[in-house]
Each structure stands twice: as C-alpha cells, then as structure tokens.
Amino acid sequence: MSFRLRVLGLVMLVAVSATAATLWLVLRQASQQIDESGADAASVDQVSAALTDYGRQHGTWEGVRDLVVRLGAQTGQRIHLVTESGWVLVDTDRENNPDQAVRALGTVDGYVNPRPTLNLSGAGADPAEIAAKELYQYRTGVRYAACLTRSGVQPTQTPGRFGVPVYDVNSAVSTDPELNRHCRDQATQSEQASRAVLAEFSAECDTTDPSEPTDYCLAEAFNVRIAEVAPEPARVILGVGDEGGRALVVGPLLAAAAGVAAVAIVATALLSHRVLRPIAILTAASQRLGRGDLTSRVPVKGNDEIAVLARSFNRMADSLQRGEERQRRLVADVAHELRTPLANLRGYLEALSDGVIEPDPELFASLHEEAVLQQRIVDDLQDLALAEAGSLAYHRADVDLAELLETCRTAHGASADAAGVTLAVTTEPVTVHADPDRLRQVVGNLITNALRATGQGGQVTLTLRREGESALVQVADTGSGIAPEALPYVFDRFWRADSARGRKTGGSGLGLSIVRQIVTDHGGSIRVASEPQVGTTFTITLPVRPA
C-alpha cells in the first residue's frame, strides 16, 4: 500500500473514530434521556395513581408516609409530596436520610387530586336533591374513613353511581366494634348541620339562565362544600435536580476524546515507525555510500513510495559499483594492453643504446609498427570515451548505405586479396540519416575483424536489405567463429577471441565496443551470431529516415 494511502487511511480512521464516538455518545445520551423520561413518566403515573387511591380511600393524608416510602423503594426515585397550600406531607430524602442535607428537587412532577367529581348526567328530574344527598353521604363517609385511618384501621370504599365514592359506615370492624361505632357516630353528628343548609345549597343553583347549566353549578357547589373535609390536592415531585452538572455527559465525552486521541497517537506512531525506520536505514546506507562503500544496500519490502525509493537507491548503488568496476577494469586493461608493447619498445631502445643489436631497416619498421599500434589504442580509447560520454561529434546527412558498403569493399579489397579472402557485397537501395564517416568506421572495423578471423580461401559477405522501417546491414564471414560462452563478452573492452593472438594479427580489442556505441548513438542496435569453425555474422539495425 502506498504511503499516501496509509496517511489517508490514518486520517479516515481518526475521522471515523471521532464521528462514531460522537454518534455513540449522542445516541447513548438521547437513549438515556428517552429511557429516563419514559421511566419517570411511568413512575409518576404509578405514584400518582397510588396516592390518589390512598387519599380517596382514607379521606385524609394521615398515614401516607409508609406508602410514599414504599413507592420510593419500588421506583428508585426520591418522592416529594406537597399540598397545594405548600404543606410538605412526605419527602423520602428526609425520611431515609434525616441527618444528611436534602438534595435539590427533580423536574418530573404529577398532580394528585383525591377529591371526587360529581357527575349528575344521569340524575333525572331532581338533580339538586341527588347532589345534596351525595354531599351528605360523602362528607359523612370521609369523616368516618379519616377516623378509622387515625386508629390504624383500613376503611372500606366502593365506587358510587355519580362519581362520588361510598364509604360503608355500617360495616362492623371485627377487631374493635366499639371503634367502628364511635367513628360512625362522630361522623354522623358532625354532618347533621349539612341537612340544614340543603335549601341554601339548592337555591344557589336555582337559575333561569340557560347559559349556566344546573348540573355544572351543583358540581361546583359540591366541590366547594367538600373542601373542608376532603384531603387537599397535592403535587408529587420525583427525582433530584442537577447540582453542578451531570457527570454522565462529561465522563463519556472525555473517555471518547481520550479513546480517539489514543487511536490517533498509536496509529501515528505505527505509521511514523513504518516511514522513519526505512528512511533511517536509507540515510545510513547513503552515508556509507558517500564514504566509498559501494556495496551498501537497503532491504526492500512492499510496493509503497518508501520501497520505490529503496529500489532506486539500490539501482543507483549498483550503477555506481558497476561504473567503479568498469573504471578499474579499464585502467587495468589499458595498463595491460600498453605494458607489453612499451616493454618491447624500451627493450629494443636499450639494446640499441647499449650496442647489443645493430640498427637496421627491419628493426626500425618493427618499432614503428609498435608505436603506430599504441597510437591506435590511444585513439580508440579516446573515441570510446567520447562516445560513452555523449561527446563524440556526429555530422549527420542522408547516406546511401549501398554506396557506403561498396566504398568499404573497395577500401578493404586489397587486404582481402592479400589474405586470399573473397569480399562480396549484396545490396538494395536504402537511405538513412546518419554520419557517413562513423558508419564507414563501424563497417570497416567489422570487415577488419572478419578478415582476421577468416583463413585463406574463405569469404566475407556484406549484405544490405530493408525490413519495414529499418535497414539491416550484415557482415558475415566463414572464419573460425566464436565459442558460445564467449558471445556475451564480444563487445567488452579489450576482449579478443584468441587471447594468445600476437600483435601482428590482433587488434586493440576496442573496435567492437566503439562499433556498439556508434550504432547505439544512431538509434540502432547490433547483435552477433556465431558457430565455431563455421563463421560469424554481425547484424546492424538502423532506423530508416522517414520520407
């Protein structure tokens, strides 16, 4: 994976992690709030219903403490019950932890109204009489139920026909009949005065105004007259308020932020290690290379940009090492090639100086031949150095290759005749854009080598033909050939097929290297095919000049 993709992956990982953590927190908080809201609403409904039933059944809030404490334990909520007038009936915080400070009140509340609502929809023709009767029975029953509750006895209550509960004031209390009689008598005596105000109660709603229904008026008058005996409506508050912020919000946020930061730090550390370690290795290797250690290489793993850089460094080091080795071989080859002829020249000159041998024309001709050979080696080295450096001058023009081959045959005809070798040419019209002098040098070197390798009675053939957009020049001989294991080295400097060949028959060993460089500079190629004792064929491919 490329380094760019790794960085992109890291950024995406951090972004996705942060987004996922934020989304998780939002969903968690929202879910918690929804759950809490649902749980609080259910708890409020449960507590309100239980308290309403208690107030209606007992006709008083006395004794409600035990119920509230039990409801607080069941719901797991703090319950604060306060009347409309502000009187706190029960607070579970005070009941359960009297020695500790009371916490702030919660925000979820409900309304508890134990007072009945008079419904005269089915009262018939005389609703006032029914309302008065329901009023008397309710006030008596509430007083009776409150008396039993104060004495620790559970009252008996049943739903009434007109929405007003009915208390059984005549039922016996099995544990204490005297208590039942006492509470019943007390309630009855207290409500004797209510019958005296029956006319007043009926007169309040005796109106001819059709916009004010009698049933509604009687129900309102009923509510007013039960207020002094019925339990007061109350407000129930659940839970506790937020004091100093909720840790539930801050904690997960900090944890998520720490998690995302940890992921980013770990991923960055791994990525930086993956990047910086190869760079450190490359730096150390380049320092060794700068100090002259051309064998320094770096390990390559993967296919990312760092691996590409490592491969480029290794190729550069290989190229430098090969160049250094070529330079050393060149120096060694030049020293080797010049040592023997220079030693011969020195020996002959010292012998002449000491009078050991007599000077004669044959000796001077031999010394001159050695000097000419050294001059040719130096010239070839200079041409090869210039060609490899790209500094060899070329003067390009349109060249008729058929004419060029005929010129080369004429130039080497005398040498071929002297060696007893037939030099033949087979051509067709082909024109290229090249340096004619350099091409003659190329063909001349190949002909010279072919004549040296071909014995008397052999043949050297120059062939020219066109194949597509290329011109093919072949120099084939019927000489001794080249061994297959030696073919890869024929274009190396100072290479010769016969290393023991003397200077009179051998060349400088640079001709084929110069040939390959000149052909390459012309955008062509050269290859060789050979078979021992059969012959050798050099094939030059040059691009034909476009029309």
pLDDT at 424 over 80: yes
**pLDDT band, very low/low/confident/very high, at 169 (cuts 50, 70, 90):** low
76-127: per-residue pLDDT in tens? 888 999 998 889 999 988 888 877 777 888 778 889 999 998 888 877 777 8
**pLDDT band, very low/low/confident/very high, at 519 (cuts 50, 70, 90):** very high
- The pLDDT score that the predictor gives to residue 416 is 92
**pLDDT band, very low/low/confident/very high, at 503 (cuts 50, 70, 90):** very low
* Total-model pTM: 0.43
350-369: per-residue pLDDT in tens? 888 888 888 888 888 878 87
- The pLDDT score that the predictor gives to residue 500 is 46
**pLDDT band, very low/low/confident/very high, at 504 (cuts 50, 70, 90):** very low
pLDDT at 546 over 60: no
How many angstroms separate the Cα of 148 from the Cα of each of 49, 52, 137, 215? Answer: 22, 18, 16, 32
Domain residue ranges in the chain: 3-114, 127-230, 394-543
**pLDDT band, very low/low/confident/very high, at 511 (cuts 50, 70, 90):** confident
517-526 long-range CB contacts below 8 Å, 24 or more apart? 517/384, 517/387, 517/388, 517/392, 518/387, 518/392, 518/438, 518/439, 518/441, 518/442, 519/442, 521/387, 521/390, 521/392, 521/394, 522/394, 522/432, 522/434, 522/435, 522/438, 522/439, 526/491
In the structure encoding, which two tokens stand for residue 477, read together? 């001989």
pLDDT at 538 over 50: yes
Superfamily in which the 394-543 domain is placed by CATH: Histidine kinase-like ATPase, C-terminal domain (3.30.565.10)
- Cβ-proximal residues to 344 (8 Å cutoff; 6+ apart), any chain: 370
Mean pLDDT of the region 191-200: 59
Range among 54-63, 349-358, 370-379, 500-509 with highest mean pLDDT value: 54-63
- Cα 46 from Cα 230, distance rounded (Å): 22
- The pLDDT score that the predictor gives to residue 296 is 84
pLDDT at 388 over 50: yes
Identify the weakest region by mean pLDDT among 37-51, 113-127, 222-236, 401-415: 37-51
Closest among 236, 225, 205 to 75, alpha carbons compared: 236
Mean pLDDT of the region 449-453: 90
How many angstroms separate the Cα of 91 from the Cα of each of 32, 46, 97, 496, 508? Answer: 26, 17, 10, 115, 118
**pLDDT band, very low/low/confident/very high, at 465 (cuts 50, 70, 90):** very high
Closest among 90, 52, 50, 55 to 69, alpha carbons compared: 90
**pLDDT band, very low/low/confident/very high, at 247 (cuts 50, 70, 90):** very low
